[in-house]
Amino acid sequence: MKTLGIFRHAKSDWNDARLRDFDRPLNKRGRKGAAIMGEHIRNDGRAWKRILASPAVRVTQTIELASEAAGMAPPVSWDRRIYLANSATLMDLLREQEGDPASIMLIGHNPGLEDLIFDLVPDDGTSPLRDVVEEKFPTAAYAVLELDIDSWDDIDENCGRITHLVRPRDLDPALGPSLTD
């Protein structure tokens, strides 16, 4: 069995229309969300053997703030392919991981991360957490999937189940949907 963590970047700032999408930073709510999720991920107690992340500014800031709040500085492998990747690309990236770590956390963007969850977790009515993701996998959401595979080479559709899902609003209702952000 392998464990896959999926952490979506926190809420980004859209105020500067001159910025490329890749360069958008976090907004105030996003900075707070990244920090609270970093504390939660630390308290969740999982030791991620490998962290793969998009190098987009909003992802790097999410990781910095989450790591600072958690009091740790995990090594991160930056991979440009994660930026706006679809599910198939993310699965290919996981398949090529050397050393076959027991756990990997992906930090990136939607819709790719959400679609990856849909592809890995069967839509058979047995996963209430999958149903929550179907409603929305919001910014700074964190999910943990257990995959029924022996090697990352074996990752394929319908091989997993969601065992943990937390959104920022689950930890602080003020971080929920807002008409002003």
Which domains are delineated in the chain? 2-13+31-175 (3.40.50.1240)
Per-residue pLDDT at 178: 64
| pTM of structure | 0.94
Per-residue pLDDT at 71: 87
Q: DSSP characters for 30-57?
A: HHHHHHHHHHHHHHHT---SEEEE--SH
Can you tell me the mean pLDDT for 63-78? 92
Whole-angstrom distance, CA of residue 28 vs CA of residue 34: 10
Close Cβ partners of 80 (under 8 Å, ≥ 6 residues apart): 54, 55
Q: Does the pLDDT value for residue 180 go beyond 60?
A: no
169-179 pLDDT per residue, tens: 999 888 887 64
- Supply the DSSP symbol for 77: E
Helix (H) or strand (E) holding 69: helix 57-70
| pLDDT, the chain, mean | 94
Helix (H) or strand (E) holding 66: helix 57-70
List C-alpha distances in Å: 53 to 50, 123, 131, 135. 10, 27, 25, 24
Question: Among 13-17, 78-82, 83-87, 128-132, which is the least confidently predicted range?
Answer: 13-17
